[in-house]
Amino acid sequence: MVREDGSSLVIATDGSRCVLSWVNPLGESFHSMGGPTGPILVFDYFGSWSEVPAEFTIATCEALECARRFIVNGSPDGDSVLFERD
């Protein structure tokens, strides 16, 4: 998802968990945090295979709520999901 101010939110999933990649209007990038330790998440990111540690993943329902906040407010930030700067 991309907003007019240049910010974007990407949701990657393996079907049971998600990782979010957020770029704010200043061009600073962040990733979601909060998942338990476990296997890495491998996903296609604009045509390239990427992977993140399990600790960057969140539940699908939380990812959808972040997407809703991003569409409405321009930021996916909320109480249930933490973001760490890349």
- Could you read off the pLDDT of 21-58 as tens digits, one per residue? 999 999 999 999 998 999 999 988 889 999 999 999 99
1 domain-assigned: no
CB within 8 Å of 58: residues ≥ 6 apart: 17, 18, 19, 20, 32, 33, 34, 35, 66, 81
Enclosing domain of residue 41:
8-85
What pTM value is reported for the model?
A: 0.90
pLDDT of residue 80: 82
- Higher local confidence (pLDDT), 27 or 80: 27
2 domain-assigned: no
Domain count along the chain: 1
Q: If pLDDT is split at 50, 70 and 90, which confidence band does 8 have?
A: very high
State yes or no: pLDDT of 78 exceeds 90. Answer: no
